Amino acid sequence: MYSLNEFLGGVTSTLRTFRLRDLIDILVITFAFYQLFLFARKSRAGQLVRGLVFMLVCFALAYLLELRTVRWLLNNFLQVAFIAAVVLFQPELRRALERLGQSANWASKFFSFRRADPSLRAVWQSAVVAICDAAEQLSDTNTGALMVLERNNNLDEIIRTGTPLSANVIPEMLGTIFYEGTPLHDGAVIIRDGRIVAAGCVLPLSNNLEMGKDMGTRHRAGLGMSENSDAIVVVVSEETGIISLAKNGVLIRR
């Protein structure tokens, strides 16, 4: 059994050999596991990840206890399970990689070199006020709406599913687009740099099993958009008129 002095000596020896690259190594691994945790939490792959963790724990115990038959079975099972996971959860993996690739200009964002254009900030402030006013008006008449505010992740793929527009964000324009009976009222409006750039767009649906039964397709679309990008989505329920906000895979209802 180690004495306290031996323990402290070991810690001191480790710290002496600790280098900056070791710290970077730890931070990278921590970030990777954190992102894996978020991915598992926000997708239906969560149960699979928990199952794989359980199998890895069993494999470690079998190795420590020298259970050769169990270890052989688990080793072969894990190889097959990995391939099956890639096939079964290909959509989730593809969206995760797309989101990673869509985050443009990583270096500038990391070092905070990106500066907001004062004129663009004023346009966004006016647009946000108009979106809030439009949401209130649409809520009063139980008119369904989906408004997507693009941030850092490029949404060109989503924009291509709808009708291109170039219009100022004003309550009257949003009310006209989402008025029942108009050709674009069922889809989502995409707002980029404080302007409407597309309407009638199709959004990816969320697979979140924890959503309430009172939430319809619009809520799933809004949540799915926030899961697959850093966009902010405003949802107005057609059934109840309740206004919801989806951000980072979380749906907040007013």
Last-in-domain residue among 87, 110, 133 = 110
The predicted pLDDT at position 110 comes to 44
Domain that holds residue 241: 118-253
Q: Say yes or no to pLDDT of 160 above 80.
A: yes
134 and 106 together in one domain: no
162 and 190 together in one domain: yes
Candidate from 69-73, 164-168, 220-224 with smallest mean pLDDT: 69-73
50 and 127 together in one domain: no
Q: Per-residue confidence at 209, pLDDT binned at 50, 70, 90?
A: low
Last-in-domain residue among 84, 110, 136 = 110
More confident residue, 108 or 51: 51
The predicted pLDDT at position 44 comes to 55
131 and 217 together in one domain: yes
Q: Locate 35 and state its tokens.
A: 């992102």
- Per-residue pLDDT averaged across 204-220, rounded? 80
How far apart, in whole angstroms, are the C-alpha atoms of residue 32 and residue 3?
36
Candidate from 41-50, 75-84, 185-194, 233-242 with smallest mean pLDDT: 41-50
Average pLDDT of the chain?
A: 80
How far apart, in whole angstroms, are the C-alpha atoms of residue 131 and residue 11?
57
84 and 181 together in one domain: no
Q: Say yes or no to pLDDT of 6 above 70.
A: no
- What's the CATH number where 236 sits? 3.40.1700.10
User: How many other CB atoms sit within 10 Å of the CB of residue 158?
Assistant: 23
- Per-residue pLDDT averaged across 1-9, rounded? 61
50 and 171 together in one domain: no
Total of domains in the chain:
2
pLDDT digits (tens, 9 = 90+) for 127-158: 999 999 999 999 999 999 999 999 988 899 89
137 and 106 together in one domain: no
User: How many other CB atoms sit within 10 Å of the CB of residue 62?
Assistant: 18
The predicted pLDDT at position 113 comes to 41
96 and 16 together in one domain: yes
How far apart, in whole angstroms, are the C-alpha atoms of residue 217 and residue 225?
12
21 and 105 together in one domain: yes
More confident residue, 45 or 179: 179
19 and 106 together in one domain: yes
Q: Per-residue confidence at 189, pLDDT binned at 50, 70, 90?
A: very high
- Per-residue pLDDT averaged across 225-230, rounded? 87
